[in-house]
Amino acid sequence: MISIGILGCGRIGQVHAASLQRLENARVAAVADAFPEAAEKLAAKTGAQVRSADEVIASPDIDAVVIGTPTDTHFDLIEKSAKAGKAIFCEKPVDMSADRIRDLIKIVDAAGVPFLTGFNRRFDSGFATIRERIASGEIGDVELVTILSRDPSPPPVAYIKSSGGLFRDMMIHDFDMARFLLGEEIVRVFATGSALVDPAIGEAGDVDTAVAVLTTASGRICQISNSRRATYGYDQRAEVHGSRGLLKANNVPENNVEIASGAGFCAAPAQHFFLERYAGAYLAEMAHFIACLQSGQAPSPGIRDGLAAQVIADAAATSLVTGVPVDLG
Amino acid sequence: MISIGILGCGRIGQVHAASLQRLENARVAAVADAFPEAAEKLAAKTGAQVRSADEVIASPDIDAVVIGTPTDTHFDLIEKSAKAGKAIFCEKPVDMSADRIRDLIKIVDAAGVPFLTGFNRRFDSGFATIRERIASGEIGDVELVTILSRDPSPPPVAYIKSSGGLFRDMMIHDFDMARFLLGEEIVRVFATGSALVDPAIGEAGDVDTAVAVLTTASGRICQISNSRRATYGYDQRAEVHGSRGLLKANNVPENNVEIASGAGFCAAPAQHFFLERYAGAYLAEMAHFIACLQSGQAPSPGIRDGLAAQVIADAAATSLVTGVPVDLG
Amino acid sequence: MISIGILGCGRIGQVHAASLQRLENARVAAVADAFPEAAEKLAAKTGAQVRSADEVIASPDIDAVVIGTPTDTHFDLIEKSAKAGKAIFCEKPVDMSADRIRDLIKIVDAAGVPFLTGFNRRFDSGFATIRERIASGEIGDVELVTILSRDPSPPPVAYIKSSGGLFRDMMIHDFDMARFLLGEEIVRVFATGSALVDPAIGEAGDVDTAVAVLTTASGRICQISNSRRATYGYDQRAEVHGSRGLLKANNVPENNVEIASGAGFCAAPAQHFFLERYAGAYLAEMAHFIACLQSGQAPSPGIRDGLAAQVIADAAATSLVTGVPVDLG
Amino acid sequence: MISIGILGCGRIGQVHAASLQRLENARVAAVADAFPEAAEKLAAKTGAQVRSADEVIASPDIDAVVIGTPTDTHFDLIEKSAKAGKAIFCEKPVDMSADRIRDLIKIVDAAGVPFLTGFNRRFDSGFATIRERIASGEIGDVELVTILSRDPSPPPVAYIKSSGGLFRDMMIHDFDMARFLLGEEIVRVFATGSALVDPAIGEAGDVDTAVAVLTTASGRICQISNSRRATYGYDQRAEVHGSRGLLKANNVPENNVEIASGAGFCAAPAQHFFLERYAGAYLAEMAHFIACLQSGQAPSPGIRDGLAAQVIADAAATSLVTGVPVDLG
């Protein structure tokens, strides 16, 4: 039985706690949050104890921490947890600064603790299946990857202002997915974007509609497009064109009902947003983390995957401003 | 070059004439119709001569006749054409009376002329493909066949009154399709129906919503359902469940466009009606007829297929009235 | 907090216990099974106490029982539970004999206890959604219902022998679905079937491939087909043709992945079997039961729905033997 | 009746001649080809006269020419035809040099003759429908366009060498489609590509896998990807993301058959190549040209559309080499 301390009892902390309750080999032992009521509420639901974050990290009965606090607290919590020998599950992004992530890699490596970066989409049955089938050779060599992500509606402009911008906040998931599906490191990034959904986003210095083109050393290409708006649900698709075929992960509809009328044949909208669409992925992600702690296998994606996506996001943000592609290391 | 005489220049005669114009080895040499203007109009379009039906049948320059006249004239025209040695393409139904079709079989056999019964759906790329794939063994043994047909809207009640009823007018196509897909003769027929679309159809003694269950000697089963109404186009589907898989012929949409919005993902309605949906089938049917005349192969479906479908339709009409299944032969 | 006693700790009892663990207002208080190890295992998982069935029914701390024992024990457990004033959730079939269900209705009515018959498919998001949309008038009047069910593979012949036959064991779900979707009682049943999947099933006096035609007083028609075999997963579909449109509940694929190659565009098989496909339905069913206990609303489907489906199944079994339709009451 | 002279009797000239035979108001009056047998063969099929290209252009009985000769002959034939007052239907590309197209615009404008550039895809029912529905405001403002084109297999390297490269030979169709769907001129082009399909294509200085990002003055973005290889047919898709919804033109399958088995649910491959997929588009394109000649309306796409696509293709080819985006006038 693995004992877990949840650091941060907001929406994502609650998701991870619920996953832990459904797993046989793990339990939520302690919870911490800057807002005591949030911690108490989650404690009541899970039977966990309320402690401070520092207490959780110092507790000898805690095997691992799940970090779901605001991004600017990650560095400190990761450093302390690593030094205390705790296994770490950290929500993305690990940190807004690639350099600071590089520092964390040294700390985590020195401590030798298991580390999982919360790129939950890798655990979605659709994306996980296409990755496995690519790896099995079913479509031959990967040549061209197309990733489309559209949120149902933009977040508040206040959030946008502190988000690091679309490339670091939203498209970072797609950058990780691109690496996951291409099977090769990105060497060049071109990105562009516009504020078409909400002029206030443009005034805040960000974009809400954006594309990126990523290339690898061997010439594989990935196209990504993002919009902060979609009237038909949470649009999350990827397709991988290979030398012997094409693999697609399609959207997941809200239900399997179809209506036919003069308007044609209409199926349900895509599942509304990430908590629904990725419910299974969050559970599989936590199951993977716990299984790794039990088997001694290193969790994946690890902290270096967190760094790699951040580096691409930084390059995309630069490309947006300079108008030209950015070469990576 | 095969020279064809078109008997009946209405809608279906025009369809067959247009098919002949697209085929390299045939030409419309003569046309006949009880209404001279109809014949003249089709003659102008095709370059054919206007003659009377008797003249067409007597003409030594005519190789084959295409009979698209009202059903009650078929017997006479088939008899004369067969005795004149003409190959015959006759629209379904061959005749409203199974006994009279049996008489025609003797006449046609005695004359030794090629005969095609116009069950056009056998030539639709969807239905033809599933039949071929069944024959190839792809789904193993056929066990259960489901056929759904829905017309966009009911014909005028005046037409219904002289149509022979839904089973002989509409479901007869499905009875032929059942034989085509089951690959075995029908031995038992149960049918029932209601007048739900238009009470006037019920008052005329017919039904507009109906189902039939057909069984074969080896226990294969076919379910058919018909409605005289569909708001979403001309609904024409069949699926064949076999021991190793399922083959489906789906509807054909009006176009390949999809729209996504708050209402979900909507594809186009089914193609509206038979002239659109079976445009390719009519052409393939005529190409098969012409190819048979050139190669000496017997056209299929032949006159016996016309009889078999009529016998099933008669049994279904009886079952509707008696409420119990009817055993065939 | 509603306290539940689980009677029967086999596969279905475990499903219901897991549902209860995910609901906020209910808890598994006690479990009982003829095999002590089964009860102990489920007790360990849920924190419930192991008791005998009679103890559970007699316990004042138990609000409701969930009956998932073999069918021939249902009558006795229902009678005792009703007399003890417990709310009852009983797996289908309530009993193999319609007359005995009629007796139970008197007992349950006299006791005034809430009763839910476990027709779980009514709670599937697909079937529940089409029923709601029919009720909203979206497709006008219901005219023609088509239900297709195919199991992935037949159960052991030993099971078949004691199952009451395909109509009472398998198609009974579809008979309930027919009533649910038609919105009107069935007055006439025709059924036929064959043993095509496994000759041993035929030797045992049952069929493995079957169809039924149900009609209502107003002339609505429902076609059902069943097979004990499907190579492509658990095939569970319904479509409802109405005067203004068509509603379909399609299969649920194992995942949302598609592969394109020379073989065409291939999507995943249907989810394999009922535990997967109806996972959400089982949870929603239990949530409905608990919500009814809290609100005082009568659960639906109730015991009369259990009877109605059994009566149709009996009629279908008779029709199979006699070859003619059976009129109901 | 419009009399047409076909200049170039190769594959595309034959397609246009067949379209003309199916139209009521036009006829193929004369045909010309550098290879006399090609001209004679097409003349035999259509009843047209064989003439030289110069004779066709000089003939007073010819209303319009259809130019389907090699690209390097277009300039001369267009100039002569315009000066002779003939209406012109010219296959794309109008010319390999944008400057020469600019010269031709002056000549065609001075002559005042109707001119259609053969971007046939604009007449495909899928693409034409989404354009109409965009224009109707159904999806609000266009924000993001995604165009995917994949040929089944690469052309011979010898063809590639004289083709002007992928951007001018293959992606030019997509550049025109981008303009057609964006509804606004392109101001910036970024492109990149690789030779992944066939190293010989790379040795010939071209790419076989490529992407482009186009932006408009108002910030609308279009992503295009091309591959010279697809195992699943001719992949031709576009989707337009707007402020109120998404419109997609999907692939057209070879037939409407689906097979279900342990491998899942498999639909047919996409129609194999352009003659099949765009058969309807070629007919609609010619019908539009003829209708314009009769009504006096200017054909669209015109010669300026031919220029605009060429300018984008040139920019993309430059971007591929320089690695940076190219700003257009």
Neighbouring C-beta atoms of residue D11, cutoff 10 Å: 10
CA distance linking residue A130 with residue A135, whole number of Å: 8
Of the residues D256, D265, D272, D283, the best mutation for testing chain B's interface (the one with the most B CB atoms within 10 Å of its CB) is D256
Which of chain A's residues have a Cβ under 8 Å away from the Cβ of C259?
Answer: 133, 138-139, 245-248
CA distance C299 to chain B (A): 31
pLDDT at A185: 97
Residues in chain C whose Cβ is within 8 Å of chain D: 230-232, 235, 253, 260-270
Q: State the CATH number of the domain containing residue A19.
A: 3.40.50.720
| Interchain CB distance below 8 Å, B247 and D255 | no
CA distance B225 to chain D (A): 20
Is A178 inside any structural domain?
yes
Is B292 inside any structural domain?
no
Partner residues linked to D264 by β-bridges: D261
Which pLDDT band holds residue C24 (cuts at 50, 70, 90)? confident
Which of chain A's residues have a Cβ under 8 Å away from the Cβ of C260?
Answer: 245-248
Q: How far is CA C209 from CA C225, D217, D258, D325, in A?
A: 8, 64, 22, 64
Q: Give which of C315, C313, C309, C319 is closest to C328, Cα–Cα.
A: C315
Residues in chain D whose Cβ is within 8 Å of chain A: 141, 143-144, 146, 148, 150, 188, 190, 192-197, 209-211, 213, 215, 218-221, 223, 225, 227, 229-232, 235, 241, 243-246, 323-325
Of the residues A125, A133, A259, A276, the best mutation for testing chain C's interface (the one with the most C CB atoms within 10 Å of its CB) is A259
Q: Give which of C246, C121, C244, C140 is closest to B225, Cα–Cα.
A: C246
Q: Is the pLDDT of residue B329 over 80?
A: no
Q: State the CATH number of the domain containing residue C149.
A: 3.30.360.10
Which of chain B's residues have a Cβ under 8 Å away from the Cβ of A152?
Answer: none
Nearest CA in chain A to B235: A260
Instruction: Point out the residue among C231, C262, C265 whose CB comes nearest to the CB of D267.
Output: C265
Is B303 inside any structural domain?
no
pLDDT at D22: 87
Q: How many helices (H) and strands (E) would you count in chain C?
A: 13, 15
CA distance linking residue A109 with residue A94, whole number of Å: 15
Q: Give which of C50, C48, C82, C43 is closest to C65, Cα–Cα.
A: C82
| Interchain CB distance below 8 Å, D267 and C269 | no
pLDDT at A210: 98
Instruction: Point out the residue among D125, D250, D259 whose CB comes nearest to the CB of B246.
Output: D259
Residues in chain D whose Cβ is within 8 Å of chain C: 230-232, 235, 253, 260-270
Nearest CA in chain D to A323: D325
Residues in chain B whose Cβ is within 8 Å of chain C: 141, 143-144, 146, 148, 150, 190, 192-197, 209-211, 213, 215, 218-221, 223, 225, 227, 229-232, 235, 241, 243-246, 323-325
Return the percentage of chain C with pLDDT > 70, whole number: 100
Neighbouring C-beta atoms of residue A239, cutoff 10 Å: 20
CA distance C199 to chain D (A): 22
Which of chain A's residues have a Cβ under 8 Å away from the Cβ of D229?
Answer: 143, 243
Of A113, A146, A172, the residue that ends a domain is A113
Residues in chain C whose Cβ is within 8 Å of chain B: 141, 143-144, 146, 148, 150, 188, 190, 192-197, 209-211, 213, 215, 218-221, 223, 225, 227, 229-232, 235, 241, 243-246, 323-325
Is B291 inside any structural domain?
no
Instruction: Point out the residue among A192, A244, A246 whose CB comes nearest to the CB of D221.
Output: A192
Partner residues linked to A32 by β-bridges: A7
Does residue A79 sit in the same domain as residue A36?
Answer: yes
Is A167 inside any structural domain?
yes
| Interchain CB distance below 8 Å, A241 and D141 | no
pLDDT tens digits, one per residue of D256-310: 999 999 999 999 999 998 899 999 999 999 999 999 999 999 999 999 999 999 9
∠ Cα B119 B121 B124 (to 5°): 140
Beta strand C221-227 pairing with C235-242: unpaired
Contact (Cβ atoms closer than 8 angstroms) between residue B132 and residue B230:
no
Q: What angle do helix axes A125-135 and A171-182 make, rounded to 10 degrees?
A: 30
Does residue D17 sit in the same domain as residue D141?
Answer: no
pLDDT tens digits, one per residue of A26-39: 999 999 999 999 99
pLDDT at D24: 86
Does residue B322 sit in the same domain as residue B182?
Answer: yes
Q: Is the pLDDT of residue D329 over 80?
A: no
Nearest CA in chain B to D19: B22
Does residue B58 sit in the same domain as residue B137?
Answer: no
Contact (Cβ atoms closer than 8 angstroms) between residue C253 and residue C270:
yes
Does residue B96 sit in the same domain as residue B9?
Answer: yes
CA distance A61 to chain C (A): 23
Does residue C196 sit in the same domain as residue C53?
Answer: no
Q: Give which of C28, C132, C46 is closest to C89, Cα–Cα.
A: C28
Instruction: Point out the residue among A129, A245, A255 whose CB comes nearest to the CB of C255.
Output: A129
| Interchain CB distance below 8 Å, D264 and C231 | no
Please state which of the ranges B39-48, B185-194, B233-242 shows the lowest mean pLDDT.
Answer: B39-48
Q: Is the pLDDT of residue C329 over 90?
A: no
Of B113, B138, B157, the residue that ends a domain is B113
Nearest CA in chain B to C147: B146
pLDDT at B155: 94
Please state which of the ranges A39-48, B221-230, C230-239 shows the lowest mean pLDDT.
Answer: A39-48
Nearest CA in chain B to C212: B213
Tally of domains within chain A? 2
pLDDT tens digits, one per residue of A248-270: 999 999 999 999 999 999 999 99
Query: Which two structure tokens, joined as six digits, stand for B302?
Result: 């032949």
Please give the residue range of the domain that contains residue A144: 122-281+309-327
Does residue A261 sit in the same domain as residue A143?
Answer: yes
Does residue B14 sit in the same domain as residue B61?
Answer: yes
Q: Is the pLDDT of residue C156 over 80?
A: yes
Partner residues linked to A66 by β-bridges: A6, A89
Neighbouring C-beta atoms of residue C300, cutoff 10 Å: 15
Q: How many helices (H) and strands (E) would you count in chain A?
A: 13, 15
Q: Is the pLDDT of residue B45 over 90?
A: no
pLDDT at D20: 94
CA distance B24 to chain D (A): 10
Is C208 inside any structural domain?
yes
Does residue D99 sit in the same domain as residue D190?
Answer: no
Which of chain C's residues have a Cβ under 8 Å away from the Cβ of A250?
Answer: 256-258
Q: What mean pLDDT is predicted for residues D174-193?
A: 98
| Interchain CB distance below 8 Å, D192 and A211 | no
Is C203 inside any structural domain?
yes
Which pLDDT band holds residue C22 (cuts at 50, 70, 90)? confident
User: pLDDT tens per residue, chain A (329 residues)?
Assistant: 899 999 999 999 999 999 998 898 999 999 999 999 999 999 998 889 999 999 999 999 999 999 999 999 999 999 999 999 999 999 999 999 999 999 999 999 999 999 999 999 999 999 999 999 999 999 999 999 999 999 999 999 999 998 999 999 999 999 999 999 999 999 999 999 999 999 999 999 999 999 999 999 999 999 999 999 999 999 999 999 999 999 999 999 999 999 999 999 999 999 998 899 999 999 999 999 999 999 999 999 999 999 999 999 999 999 999 999 999 97
Instruction: Point out the residue among D249, D250, D255 whose CB comes nearest to the CB of B126.
Output: D255
CA distance linking residue D206 with residue C1, whole number of Å: 71
| Interchain CB distance below 8 Å, D227 and A193 | no
Does residue C218 sit in the same domain as residue C317?
Answer: yes
Instruction: Point out the residue among D232, D261, D262 whose CB comes nearest to the CB of C265.
Output: D232
Does residue A19 sit in the same domain as residue A163?
Answer: no
- Order the strands of the D2-7 sheet from edge to edge: D49-50, D26-32, D2-7, D64-67, D87-91, D115-118
| Interchain CB distance below 8 Å, A268 and B264 | yes
Which of chain C's residues have a Cβ under 8 Å away from the Cβ of D266?
Answer: 263-267
| Interchain CB distance below 8 Å, D125 and B256 | yes
Does residue B138 sit in the same domain as residue B273?
Answer: yes
pLDDT at A329: 74
Residues in chain C whose Cβ is within 8 Å of chain A: 125-126, 129-130, 133, 138-139, 244-252, 254-262
| Interchain CB distance below 8 Å, B250 and D258 | yes
Q: Is the pLDDT of residue D53 over 90?
A: yes
Which of chain C's residues have a Cβ under 8 Å away from the Cβ of A251?
Answer: 256
Is C291 inside any structural domain?
no
Which of chain A's residues have a Cβ under 8 Å away from the Cβ of D213?
Answer: 190, 192, 211, 213
Of C77, C94, C113, the residue that ends a domain is C113
Contact (Cβ atoms closer than 8 angstroms) between residue A18 and residue A287:
no
The 3-state DSSP composition of chain D as helix, strand, coil percent (nearest 5) reads: 40, 25, 30
CA distance C31 to chain A (A): 20
Query: Which two structure tokens, joined as six digits, stand for B272?
Result: 């509206």
pLDDT at D277: 94
